Amino acid sequence: MKMQLAEIAKAINSTCEGDDQTIITSVAFDSRKIVPGGLFVPLQGERDGHDFINSAINNGASATLWEKGHPDKPTSIAVLEVEDPLDSMQKLAQYYLNKVNPTVVGITGSNGKTTTKDMTAAVLAKRFNVHKTAANFNNEIGVPMTILEMKPNTEILVLEMGMDHSGQLHHLSELTHPDVTVITMIGEAHIEFLGSRAAIADAKMEITDFLREDGELIYNGDEPLLCDRAQKIHQSKVTFGFAKTDSVYATEFRSYKHHASFMINDSDCKFTIPMIGKHNVSNALSALCVGKHFGEKDEEIAAALASFTPTANRMEWEKGDVGEDIMSDVYNSNPTAVRAVLASFGQIQITPGSRRIAVLGDMLELGERSADLHAQLADCLDPHVINEVYLFGSEMKYLADALKDRYGLEYLHYYPQDQMQHMIADLKNDIKPHDIVVLKGSHGMHLEKVVERLR
């Protein structure tokens, strides 16, 4: 972005104290990421962002938003006083979005949002100037920041949109007015706050609340909860999945150690993705549908999917320090995601004498159903397929109890949350060169630390 402070002040209904001809070239709410020409946005979090104004100034901030009435207002840089810095940042993002005027693709879902976003951006980048959400910067702060970071020549903006409470996607949809919306699937993520999968589906459908009149909804046609709700949407609709009733459905699905392949109806093109599992093929199908919406040919889409780079910690293969192969999928977790990962992991061919070892951490934000949902994972763990299981965290005790008769103490290992180092030591003593290991858990369990020690 590149705007004078006078234009920014008008966009957010403020006045500038200082030189309103100052050029702003970036926006940041983290004072450590401020660069010369930057506008600092002090947000309220665990700490008050206003407390870091000196750090922002030292790093080159040219101006700052400032909550009206907040003490210690700086005098060495330009100031725009506002009622609420976050709300003003969102207004500025909406103004800049309208100014650049890219086509907006909004992506949500209980699982697969980030992977689908990466796939979609790769597919569209073959022909368009594309800007996408970094990492999973997908909330009320991350979405406006993504908008403000896009270049003026952006043609398509691919936005990942997350939520954990109802109303959040309504707000993000109102902020962005998407041209295309994608819903990957409905799972149990955030069921602690929403109560049921039906309520989760209602909340996910909010992404269509401000879908443009000539827009399109692309959704998982194998999910009845979405199919029922999509009937109320009058805009164009496209479904993807594995059923022949879907607009685009996968055929000849194959999953290998480091990739998966599939074909689709009405096409002779073979698609390959550098990830494994049926759930990632589903993500690829949604990206493929977006590509088709923008006129991409199957061969172009296939080339993009084959070479896209996924965001870190999503089914990444690493090499362990004794030669084992490690599948790291430790960014987030919920029952649907764990089942999908374990199913894919169990299909990987291994050499005779080697083992499949699963390391599972707690799935967070499951509320009063947490104990049951952890215990129910037992039905997707077979000692003949996944030979050894390491469980980590207070909630995984329920799964450990459900598995103890099936696995026995020799092949089932449980560790409370304060025993990560003990678990790491046992893993390092146990793992052999030709074993394959999968790690899956919620981000708050920090299994990435285990991956680092095993690498």
Please give the share of the chain, as a percent, with pLDDT higher than 90.
86
Dihedral class, residue 109 (left if φ above 0, else alpha if ψ from -120 to 50, else beta): left
How do residues 64-85 score in pLDDT, each as one tens digit? 999 999 999 999 999 999 999 9
Q: Report whether 262 contacts 281 (CB < 8 A).
A: yes
Contact of 370 with 333, CB cutoff 8 Å: no
* Reported CATH class of domain 102-307: alpha beta
240 is written with which tokens? 């993807």
Average pLDDT over residues 267-275: 96
User: Partners of 353 in the beta sheet?
Assistant: none
Tokens of 429: 């003593």
Q: What confidence score (pLDDT) does residue 245 get? A: 97
Answer whether residue 204 shows pLDDT above 70. yes
Six token digits for residue 178: 């998407």
pLDDT for 190 equals 65
Asked whether the predicted pLDDT for residue 189 surpasses 80, the reply is no
Measure Cα distances from 112 to 180, 308, 334, 395, 418 in Å.
17, 15, 12, 24, 30
Q: Which amino acid, one-letter code, is at 147?
A: I
**Phi, psi dihedral angles at 153 (to 5 degrees):** -95, 10
Q: Helix, strand or coil for residue 6?
A: helix
Give residue-wise pLDDT tens across range 1-22.
999 999 999 999 999 999 999 9
Q: What is the pLDDT of residues 121-170, one digit of tens each?
A: 999 999 999 999 998 799 999 999 999 999 999 999 999 999 989 999 99
For every residue of 332-381, DSSP letters joined together read ---HHHHHHHHHHHHTS---TT--EEEEEEPPPS-GGGHHHHHHGGGGG-
The whole-number average pLDDT for the span 40-68 is 96
CA distances from 268 to 252, 263, 305, 436 (A): 12, 7, 16, 34
Determine the pLDDT at residue 313.
Answer: 60
- CATH architecture of the domain 3-83 equals 3-Layer(aba) Sandwich (3.40)
Which are the contacts of 287, defined by CB distance < 8 A and separation ≥ 6?
116, 119, 120, 122, 123, 301, 305
248/192: higher pLDDT: 248
Distance from the first to the final alpha carbon of the chain: 40
| Helix, strand, coil tally for the chain in percent (to 5) | 40, 20, 40
Is-contact 62 16, C-beta < 8 A? no
- Inform me whether the pLDDT recorded for 105 exceeds 90: yes
Closest Cα to residue 96, out of 3, 194, 211, 222? Answer: 3
Q: Looking at domain 316-454, which of 3.40.50.1010, 3.40.50.970, 3.90.190.20, 3.40.50.300 is its CATH number?
A: 3.90.190.20
- Entry field: residues in the chain: 455
Asked whether the predicted pLDDT for residue 282 surpasses 80, the reply is: yes
Q: Which is more confident, 180 or 368?
A: 180
Higher per-residue pLDDT: 264 or 333: 264
Q: What is the mean pLDDT of the chain?
A: 95
Strands 271-273 and 316-319: unpaired
State the pairing for strand pair 16-17/78-82.
antiparallel
253 class by beta-carbon count within 10 Å (0-12 exposed, 13-18 middle, 19+ buried): middle
Q: Residue 310: pLDDT band by 50, 70, 90 thresholds? A: confident
The pLDDT, as a whole number, for residue 314 is 66
pLDDT digits over 80-99, tens only?
A: 999 999 999 999 999 999 99
Residue 96: name the closest of 29, 176, 164 by CA: 176
pTM score, whole prediction: 0.86
Domain boundaries, the chain: 3-83, 102-307, 316-454
**Span 433-448, mean pLDDT?**
95
